């Protein structure tokens, strides 16, 4: 029977939750890396027992952790017992070394002045779809790194940071982070990334060169609301079978593109608020999309004290609230950009975590919800693996 | 041997007890002690001082013989009590919380 493994990153550690295909009885293991911020964990689709984790701290900086046994044990890549005894001069203590390539240069600071690029942390890890040793890292200050040795060493794909518009990128309130990486299953050299607050970019050559893909985005807080870059894109998502159709939750506005990001149009429709962070697509229905609106950029909590996931079965514009099993009074939590995901079981499971420490699962595409966990630290990210 | 006391999270990371002992060849300074610590525990590279610049991370301080030596030159020789192992070099994380 199929089962699922949910990887939860929180402000104070990582948790691994498992259940069978019914997704009703959960076993929770953790915290791993107690006291550290776990921005993201994601497993290799090629080797499901290989999980990468981004562990960070304002005191001690960035760490990369890797498990090769499905989250039971963890090591910083290059320092595991087998790797240390291999004696093949593998780099040690470099799995947390993220050094920008070449001249660092500067981007625009909050006050508009030039500010040097400074590495702060890894926001998102995206394992290769075909090579278990290859993984991308989206970092703050915004750049894309790649490891080809299972996380032991990292190199920057500097064509993104040195894009002609790079000097104009500016941090949002959460920092200038590269938080989303999408890889086209049909052509792994085709990659999309999203950066707050620069926008969306697409590469067709494995990350060497990039094109800004923000036409149609309108951000009223910018001096030129339709500028090529500067948009605070919170998250993008697609269905793997239909990568030309992209969905975006922007700072304000839910957007859609039908041409791989070349042009965007708004599909916020009847949402109670078009501000939010996460967005995801049903595993079997490419036109079924999920968002969790929050009130505004000043009020980072859900409207009316009600925790509602909104689902569109029409690829946007027409949205229905999903509430069964979710708190419908006195709820003032937020759902962060990497804290929503879907499994590939039939029915499709939908998952999300809150800054209040709850992780919810719907085993039926959003119709009914129940809590996997209710009292974790603030949830930063949720990923799910469907295991056979 | 030089004794070094690490903060909780670095002890967890390095999988060591409260105090570590390192052999420091030559002059005993913050730089040479940390070099020895990182050689013995590669996982700590980048966590106490930055990878390339070797700058002390902002939220950490170094104490030796009851003195805050965080702003001394990294290659300044440490007191004999540290070099002899009579007292530990302490790596201390900034206190924060509500």
pLDDT at A78: 84
**Domain-located, residue B98:** no
A61/B57 touch (CB, cutoff 8 Å), yes or no: yes
Judged by a CB distance cut-off of 8 A, whether residue B16 touches chain A is no
pLDDT in tens, B89-98: 999 998 876 6
pTM, to two decimals: 0.96
pLDDT at A22: 97
pLDDT at A29: 97
Contact status, residue B2 vs residue B33, Cβ threshold 8 Å? yes
Q: Grade residue A213 by pLDDT with cuts at 50, 70 and 90.
A: very high
Contact status, residue A376 vs residue A38, Cβ threshold 8 Å? no
Give the C-alpha separation, A342 to A361, whole Å.
9
**Domain-located, residue B31:** yes
**Domain-located, residue B73:** yes
pLDDT in tens, A353-364: 999 999 999 999
Q: Grade residue A115 by pLDDT with cuts at 50, 70 and 90.
A: very high
pLDDT at A81: 62
Q: Grade residue A158 by pLDDT with cuts at 50, 70 and 90.
A: very high
Number of domains in chain B: 1
Within 10 angstroms of residue B98's Cβ, the number of other Cβ atoms is: 2
pLDDT at A84: 65
Judged by a CB distance cut-off of 8 A, whether residue B64 touches chain A is no
pLDDT in tens, B18-55: 899 999 999 999 999 999 999 999 999 999 999 989 99
**Domain-located, residue B71:** yes
Secondary structure (DSSP) of A203-217: ESSTTSS-EE--TT-
pLDDT at A87: 59
pLDDT at A169: 96
pLDDT at A79: 77
Q: Identify the residue whose tokens are 């990468």.
A: A52
Q: Is the confidence at residue A1, as pLDDT, over 70?
A: yes
Average pLDDT rounded to a whole number, residues A335-356: 98
Name the more confident of A330 and A84: A330
pLDDT at A221: 87
Q: Is the confidence at residue A5, as pLDDT, over 80?
A: yes
Give the C-alpha separation, A264 to A371, whole Å.
35
Q: Grade residue A173 by pLDDT with cuts at 50, 70 and 90.
A: confident
Give the C-alpha separation, A134 to A309, whole Å.
34
Helix (H, G, I), strand (E, B) or coil at B36: helix
**Domain-located, residue B12:** yes
What CATH number is attached to the domain comprising B47? 3.10.20.30
pLDDT at A92: 73
Judged by a CB distance cut-off of 8 A, whether residue B73 touches chain A is no
- Write out the H or E segment, with its range, that includes residue B9: helix B8-14
Q: Which domain holds residue B71?
A: 2-93
Secondary structure (DSSP) of A94-153: -TT----SS---EEE-TTSSEEE----EEEEEEE-SS-TT-EEEEEETTEEEEESSTTSS
Judged by a CB distance cut-off of 8 A, whether residue B50 touches chain A is yes
pLDDT at A174: 87
Helix (H, G, I), strand (E, B) or coil at A37: strand
pLDDT at A209: 98
Name the more confident of B53 and A91: B53
Give the C-alpha separation, A301 to A74, whole Å.
34
Contact status, residue B76 vs residue B30, Cβ threshold 8 Å? yes
pLDDT at A89: 59
pLDDT at A88: 57
B13/A63 touch (CB, cutoff 8 Å), yes or no: yes
Q: Which residues contact A20 (CB under 8 A, 6 or more apart)?
A: A1, A2, A3, A4
pLDDT at A90: 55
Q: Grade residue A302 by pLDDT with cuts at 50, 70 and 90.
A: very high
pLDDT in tens, A29-74: 999 999 999 999 999 999 999 999 999 999 999 999 999 999 999 9
Residue A166's φ and ψ, nearest 5 degrees, are -55, -40
pLDDT at A91: 61
Q: Residue A92: list chain B partners with CB under 8 A.
A: 42, 45
CA A300 centroid distance within chain: 18
Average pLDDT rounded to a whole number, residues A111-123: 95
Average pLDDT rounded to a whole number, residues A235-260: 98
Helix (H, G, I), strand (E, B) or coil at B63: strand
**pLDDT > 90 fraction of chain A, expressed in percent and rounded:** 92
Average pLDDT, chain A: 95
Interface of A with B (CB under 8 A): 34-36, 57-63, 76, 78-79, 92-94, 96-97, 99
Q: Token digits for A206?
A: 């494995």
Q: Residue B57: list chain A partners with CB under 8 A.
A: 59-61
Dihedral (C-alpha) A56, A77, B38, B4: value to the nearest 10 degrees? 60
Q: Is the confidence at residue A165, as pLDDT, over 70?
A: yes
């Amino acid at each position: 029977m199929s089962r699922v493994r949910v990887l939860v990153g929180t402000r104070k550690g990582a948790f691994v939750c498992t259940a069978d295909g019914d997704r009703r009885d959960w076993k929770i293991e953790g915290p791993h890396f107690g006291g550290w911020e776990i921005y993201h964990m994601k497993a290799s689709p090629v080797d499901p027992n290989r999980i990468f984790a981004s562990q960070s701290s304002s005191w001690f900086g960035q760490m990369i952790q890797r498990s090769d046994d499905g989250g039971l044990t963890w090591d910083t890549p290059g320092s595991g017992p087998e790797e240390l005894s291999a004696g093949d001069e593998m780099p040690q203590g470099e799995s947390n070394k993220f050094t920008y390539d070449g001249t660092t240069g500067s981007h625009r600071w909050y006050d508009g002045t030039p500010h040097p690029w400074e590495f702060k942390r890894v926001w998102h890890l995206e394992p290769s779809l075909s090579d278990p040793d290859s993984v991308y890292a989206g970092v703050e200050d915004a750049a894309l790194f790649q490891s080809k040795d299972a996380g032991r060493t990292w190199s920057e794909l500097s064509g993104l940071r040195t894009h002609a518009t790079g000097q104009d990128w500016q941090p949002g309130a959460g920092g200038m982070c590269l938080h989303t990486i999408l890889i086209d299953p049909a052509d792994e050299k085709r990659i999309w990334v999203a950066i707050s607050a620069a926008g969306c970019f697409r590469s067709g050559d494995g990350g060497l060169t990039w094109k800004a893909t923000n036409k149609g985005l309108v951000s009223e807080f910018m001096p030129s609301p339709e500028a090529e870059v500067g948009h605070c894109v919170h998250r993008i998502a697609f269905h793997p079978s239909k990568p030309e159709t992209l969905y975006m939750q922007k700072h304000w506005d839910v957007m859609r593109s039908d041409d791989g990001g070349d042009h965007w149009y708004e599909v916020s429709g009847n949402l109670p608020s078009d501000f939010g962070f996460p967005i995801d697509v049903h595993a079997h229905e490419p036109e079924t999309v999920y968002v969790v609106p929050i009130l505004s950029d000043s009020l980072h909590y859900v409207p009316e004290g009600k925790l509602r996931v909104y689902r569109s079965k029409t690829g946007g514009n027409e949205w229905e609230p999903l509430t069964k099993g979710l708190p419908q009074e006195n709820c003032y939590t937020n759902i962060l950009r990497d804290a929503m995901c879907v499994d590939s079981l039939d029915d499709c499971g939908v998952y999300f975590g809150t800054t209040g420490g709850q992780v919810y699962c719907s085993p039926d595409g959003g119709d009914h919800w129940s809590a996997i966990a209710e009292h974790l630290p603030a949830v930063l990210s949720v990923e799910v693996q469907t295991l056979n | 041997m030089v004794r070094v006391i690490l903060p909780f999270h670095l002890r967890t990371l390095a999988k060591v007890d409260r105090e570590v002992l390192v052999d420091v060849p030559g002059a005993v300074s913050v730089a040479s002690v940390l070099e020895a610590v990182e050689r013995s525990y590669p996982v700590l590279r980048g966590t106490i001082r930055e990878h390339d610049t070797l700058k002390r991370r902002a939220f950490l301080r170094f104490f030796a013989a009851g003195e805050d030596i965080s702003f001394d030159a990294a290659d300044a020789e440490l007191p004999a009590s540290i070099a002899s192992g009579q007292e530990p070099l302490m790596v201390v994380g900034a206190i924060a919380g509500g």
